[in-house]
Amino acid sequence: MTLRISVIGTGYLGATHAACMAELGYEVIGLDVNAEKLQALSAGILPFHEPGLPELLRKHVASGRLRFTDSYEEVAQRADIHFVTVGTPQRADSQSADMSYVDAAVDSLVANISGEALIVGKSTVPVGTARRLSERIEATAKPGSKISLAWNPEFLREGFAVKDTLTPDRLVYGIQDDTCLAKLREVYAPILALDTPEVVTDLETSELVKVAANAFLATKISFINAFAEVTETVGGDIKTLADAIGHDARIGRKFLNAGVGFGGGCLPKDIRALQARVSELGLSQTMGFLDEVDQINLRRRDRVVSLASSILGNQLAGKRICVLGVTFKPDSDDVRDSPALDIAVRLYNSGAEVSVYDPEGNKNAAGRFPRLNYVESWREAAKESDLVLLLTEWKEFRALDPQELGEVVSSRVLIDGRNVLDRPLWRDQGWVMTGPGEKFDL
C-alpha cells in the first residue's frame, strides 16, 4: 500500500519535504494555517524562490498525489506518518528558540489521531524537546490510539533544497523503538537505495547533530572572517590562506570564504539558541565561543559600512550607493538576517541614497524595508553611483563586465563583499576596488 504522509508547516522546509515525498511516490498532504500560502500551493504555485521546486510542486499537485489543507482532522484521517516542519524562530525577548509552533502542531495532531501513527519531528529544536514531546504525547493521546515519536533532522541548504532532500549527505533518525525505525526506513527506502549513509540514534543525539552541524559551519565562516580582520590590517591574501589550509583534508576548503558574514533563517538563530539552551542546562561557559562567532560575524557588516563611509570621505549624506544583492545568499529570495540588506539599510540611515538590485530578493527586502530604491536591473542601480557594493554573489554579478558597469557609474569604485570579481581585470579597467581580507589604503 502507498505510504500516506502528512507534512505540518509548509514553509521552506515543509514545502520542499512535501513535494519530495510525493516525488518518491507517496500520497502527501501538507498542512498550514496561512490561507494565502495554502491557496498558492494548492494552485501549484510556490510562494518563494527555490530552483527546481516549482516543477515538482506543479507535477504532483496536478497528479493529485500532493494536496494541502488547514484541517488537522483531515490530516489525521489521510496520513499515518506526520512530519513536523514548522518554524522555530528566535524569540523576540531572548536568544532562545520559540517552540510554540512545534508544541501547537504536535498537540493538534495528537488531539485528532485515533489510531496508530508516527510523528516525525524535522524542525530544529533545543535538545530535550523530543523527549518532552514524547511524554506529552503519552499523557494526552486519545484512548485506543498508539502514537510514536521520532526525530529526523534536516540538513538542506536553500538554493539546493530538492537535491539535498532527494540525495542527502546522510539521514539521521532519533528513535525510541524498532517499529519507528522500520517505518522511517520504509519512507526513505528509495534514498537509502542510493547508498546514503544512515545514522540511527537516540532522540537527544539526533537533535544535537543538527545544531552541531550548523554551529560548526558558522564557526568555520567566522574563523576565516577573523583571519580576514588580520589580513585587512597587516596585508596578505585571505583567499590564498583559505586555499592553503583547505588543502588539508582534515580542514577542507568549503565554508572558508571570507565575506560579509553568514545570515539567513538558520545559522544565526541556531547558534544563539544552542548557546541559550546549554546555558539553561547550567553549562553557560560551554558554548561561549559561539558568542564570539556571532560577534565576528556581525563585525563584517560594520567593516563594510565603515569602509564605504571612509571611501566616500566620511560624508554619506547625498552620496549615491549601488547595492548589488540583498538576499543572504544567491539562488534564494530570502532576506532573513541578511548581511546585505542590513548594510544597505545602515548606509541609507546614514544619509546615502541607496539603489538596490537583486535578481530575486527585491520584493522580500521591500517588504521589510520599503524606503530603499529598489530597481529592476544592475544597470539602473548603478546609474551615476559614487560607489558600488557587491554583497550577494549571484551568477549575474560574477559575470559583470567592468567596462559596461564603468560606463554607467559616476565613479569606478567598488567593494566586492564576496571576493568574486577578478581584481586585475577590473583594475585594468580603472576600477578602484577592495574586498574582505584586503588591506585597503585610501
Exposed (0-12), middle (13-18) or buried (19+): which is 84, by Cβ within 10 Å?
buried
Helix (H, G, I), strand (E, B) or coil at 62: helix
| Angle CA 241–245–251, to nearest 5 | 140
| Angle CA 17–190–124, to nearest 5 | 35
Query: What's the start-to-end Cα distance of the chain, in Å?
Result: 70
**In the bound complex, what is the minimum distance in angstroms from residue 391's beta carbon to ligand UGA?**
10
- Strand ranges in 85-184 using DSSP code E only, listed in sequence order: 116-121, 146-151, 171-174
**In the bound complex, what is the minimum distance in angstroms from residue 313's beta carbon to ligand UGA?**
29
| Angle CA 19–160–207, to nearest 5 | 80
8-state DSSP, 97: B
Task: Point out which residues pair with 199 in neighbouring strands.
Answer: 172
Q: Which CB, 108 or 206, lies closer to ligand UGA? A: 206
**In the bound complex, what is the minimum distance in angstroms from residue 93's beta carbon to ligand UGA?**
22
Q: Which CB, 1 or 250, lies closer to ligand UGA? A: 250
User: Using CB under 6 A as the criterion, which residues of the chain lie in contact with ligand UGA when the complex forms?
Assistant: 124, 154-158, 214, 217, 221, 255-257, 259, 261-264, 266-267, 328-329
Sign of CA dihedral 284, 287, 289, 293: negative
Question: Cα–Cα distance between 172 and 198 in angstroms, integer?
Answer: 6
Q: Which CB, 124 or 362, lies closer to ligand UGA? A: 124
**In the bound complex, what is the minimum distance in angstroms from residue 14's beta carbon to ligand UGA?**
12
In which region does residue 416 sit, left (phi positive, over 0), alpha (psi from -120 to 50) or beta (all else)?
beta
Q: Which CB, 214 or 355, lies closer to ligand UGA? A: 214
Q: Which CB, 124 or 355, lies closer to ligand UGA? A: 124
Q: Which CB, 9 or 261, lies closer to ligand UGA? A: 261
Grid look-up 597587516 returns 234
Q: Which amino acid is at 200?
A: V
**In the bound complex, what is the minimum distance in angstroms from residue 12's beta carbon to ligand UGA?**
8
- 322 catalytic per annotation: no
Of 20, 180, 266, 322, the active-site residue reads 266
**In the bound complex, what is the minimum distance in angstroms from residue 351's beta carbon to ligand UGA?**
27
Residues forming the active site? 266
